[in-house]
Amino acid sequence: MAKLKTSYYCNACGAVAPKWSGQCGDCGAWNSLVESVEPKPSGGQRFSGYSGDAASNHVRALDQVDLKPESRIPTGMQELDRVLGGGLTSGSVVLIGGDPGIGKSTLLTQTMAALSTQQNILYVSGEESLQQISLRAQRLGLPTEKFNCLAETSVERITRLALKSRPRVMVIDSIQTVFTELLTSAPGSVSQVRECAAQLTQFAKQTDTALFLVGHVTKEGAIAGPRVLEHMVDTVLYFEGDSGSRFRIIRAIKNRFGAVNELGVFAMSDKGLKEVSNPSAIFLSRHESPVAGSMIMVMREGSRPMLVEAQALVDESHLPNPKRVTLGLEQNRLSMLLAVLHRHAGVAMYNQDVYVNVVGGVRVTETAADLAVVLAVLSSFRDVPLAGDMIAFGEIGLAGEVRPVPNGLERIREAAKHGFKTAIVPSANVQKNDSIAGMKIIPVQRLHEAIGCL
Ligand code: TYD
Ligand code: MG
């Protein structure tokens, strides 16, 4: 095969240079040159006025497009199917990102083993030897007769071998360890990652293979290569979880075939990852007797509500700048809530350290958590325990109003299902005649009303 020419592009201004150098000669940016394969001239013509007959490709209305029925492959793991939007789509490329050691290889080994009983699969590992994979699969008690494996790091050889065995589902573990022979830069560098992913994506589209790419997350939290992969693939999943907690959450960041922000919950055990189909139950730490600084909220991630405990500790501060520490919540949001609490409820915390933690390593991104966080902080500040069978949700506005959140009634129902008796909710979320068996609903309009009914 004739070697393709490579050249160096500046990431900042797009200038082309024949050789690498530390600084771009054009715009002066430092360390911005990356190696890239020069595109072959495709013999196309520049647009130069009307040129008579068009090529075979033509413009047509959407209702004249021939549709292939979308085929979904169930992965055998309901939690994974959920984040994928109802199963794996053939020909799609799914990027799974996460910290090292979080369980990406474990999840994919389990998934592929389950799939291998019905589909032709291929697991390509550039990180572990076949022996390691086999030992792990055996220890997990997975079926291994049809588990096709390959230890290889050259993209050209991977695609050549895959063309022979024609898998329907393929895994590349990981994209940072594979390399293309077209480029001279080291595996894992931006240009390698981008070029390898481009070749593999093209392979997946042309052969209608569903492809999982494993990507390591860098210190900055982005999948290595400055997010270059995220727009090349169809679906981006992130694997998250506290290193101390055995629960793992898989979150869809981008999905061309389903909703984003969908969550799948797993627990890591000595027999691999187990699905958690009722996540509400695990993020609640029911205390023996009510304790100060704890409040249960109902968050909604993706398509289902989840009960999660917010904990707060408010302690006298001896620092000129009292601490505002949050885990699983945005810190600026806490500062804002404390300001609203001061202004609209008359509770000042300028001389207090405030710590807020969301139990179980969950990360809350919704504003619906506001009310529960404020109540937990207040409960700790006054050292008064709140009733253990109470939940709260609602967004708090800067004017001290409690704003409605999406799917209010569904959240109250989820809480009732878990035996909670009282719900403090935004009044705009419930109608007068709404009632839920066994649940006392307290609608509030303003923050001081919510505090008043404690
Ligand atoms: P792994 O899938 O290798 O992580 P990644 O591919 O994301 O880097 O997961 C390894 C971790 O999972 C390791 O720290 C041990 C733990 N683990 C278990 O606790 N139980 C198990 O059954 C397995 C296979 C792994
Ligand atoms: Mg791994």
Q: Per-residue pLDDT for the chain (454 aa), expressed as one digit of tens each?
A: 556 678 888 877 778 888 888 998 888 888 888 888 776 655 556 665 555 555 667 888 888 887 777 778 999 889 999 899 889 999 999 999 888 888 999 999 999 999 999 989 999 999 999 999 999 999 999 999 999 999 999 999 999 999 999 999 999 998 989 999 988 888 888 888 888 999 999 999 999 999 999 988 766 555 554 467 888 899 999 888 776 778 888 988 889 988 877 888 899 998 999 998 887 777 776 677 888 999 999 988 777 788 999 999 999 999 999 999 999 899 999 999 999 999 999 999 999 999 999 987 788 888 999 999 999 999 999 999 998 889 999 999 999 999 999 989 989 988 998 889 999 999 999 887 778 888 999 999 999 999 988 7
Task: Pick the atom of ligand 1 nearest to 104's CA.
Answer: 7
Q: Provide the CB-side half-sphere exposure for 3 (13 A, CA).
A: 8
Task: Pick the atom of ligand 1 nearest to 107's CA.
Answer: 2
At 380 the three-state DSSP class reads helix
Report d(CA 372, CA 272) in Å as an integer. 34
pLDDT confidence of residue 239: 87
What's the Cα-to-Cα distance from 133 to each of 111, 215, 217, 444, rounded to whole Å? Answer: 13, 18, 22, 56
The CATH superfamily label for domain 72-277 reads P-loop containing nucleotide triphosphate hydrolases (3.40.50.300)
How far is the centre of ligand 2, averaged over its atoms, from the C-alpha of 430 (Å)? Answer: 47
Tokens found for residue 221? 């939290």
What's the Cα-to-Cα distance from 44 to each of 37, 48, 49, 199, 427, rounded to whole Å? Answer: 19, 12, 15, 22, 63
Q: Is the CB of 268 inside a 6 Å radius of any atom of ligand 1?
A: yes
Q: Is the CB of 142 inside a 6 Å radius of any atom of ligand 1?
A: no
Q: Is the CB of 100 inside a 6 Å radius of any atom of ligand 1?
A: yes
Closest CA to ligand 1's atom 12: 103
Q: Is the CB of 270 inside a 6 Å radius of any atom of ligand 1?
A: yes
DSSP 303: T
Q: Which of 106, 108, 242, 248 to mutate to test the pocket of ligand 1 (most atoms within 8 A of CB)?
A: 106
Q: Is the CB of 286 inside a 6 Å radius of any atom of ligand 1?
A: no
End-to-end CA distance of the chain: 76
How far is the centre of ligand 2, averaged over its atoms, from the C-alpha of 438 (Å)? Answer: 47
pLDDT confidence of residue 203: 95
How far is the centre of ligand 1, averaged over its atoms, from the C-alpha of 149 (Å)? Answer: 18
Q: Is the CB of 272 inside a 6 Å radius of any atom of ligand 1?
A: yes
Q: Is the CB of 101 inside a 6 Å radius of any atom of ligand 1?
A: yes
Tokens found for residue 372? 């529960």
For the chain, the domains span 6-37, 72-277, 294-452
Closest CA to ligand 1's atom 13: 101
- What are the strands, taking DSSP E only, across 41-193? 72-73, 88-89, 93-98, 121-125, 149-151, 169-173
pLDDT confidence of residue 337: 96
Q: Is the CB of 323 inside a 6 Å radius of any atom of ligand 1?
A: no
* Ligand with an atom nearest the CA of residue 140: 1
Q: Provide the CB-side half-sphere exposure for 81 (13 A, CA).
A: 13
Closest CA to ligand 1's atom 10: 101
CA 49 from chain centre, in angstroms, equals 47
Report d(CA 321, CA 326) in Å as an integer. 16
pLDDT confidence of residue 305: 86
CB 130: neighbour CB atoms within 10 A? Answer: 12
Q: Is the CB of 288 inside a 6 Å radius of any atom of ligand 1?
A: no
Q: Is the CB of 346 inside a 6 Å radius of any atom of ligand 1?
A: no
Task: Pick the atom of ligand 1 nearest to 268's CA.
Answer: 19
Task: Pick the atom of ligand 1 nearest to 239's CA.
Answer: 7
Q: List the one residue out of 140, 131, 86 whose CA is nearest residue 108.
A: 140
**Domain 294-452 in CATH 3.40.50.1380:** no
How far is the centre of ligand 1, averaged over its atoms, from the C-alpha of 102 (Å)? Answer: 6
CA 296 from chain centre, in angstroms, equals 24
Instruction: Report phi then psi at 144, rounded to 5.
Output: -120, 0
The answer to whether domain 72-277 and domain 294-452 are alike in fold is no
pLDDT confidence of residue 226: 42
Q: Using only the alpha carbons of the chain, give its radius of gyration.
A: 27
How far is the centre of ligand 1, averaged over its atoms, from the C-alpha of 214 (Å)? Answer: 14
Task: Pick the atom of ligand 1 nearest to 108's CA.
Answer: 2
Strand partners of residue 97: 215, 238
Closest CA to ligand 1's atom 11: 101
* Ligand with an atom nearest the CA of residue 110: 1
Q: Which of 109, 268, 269, 274 to mutate to test the pocket of ligand 1 (most atoms within 8 A of CB)?
A: 268
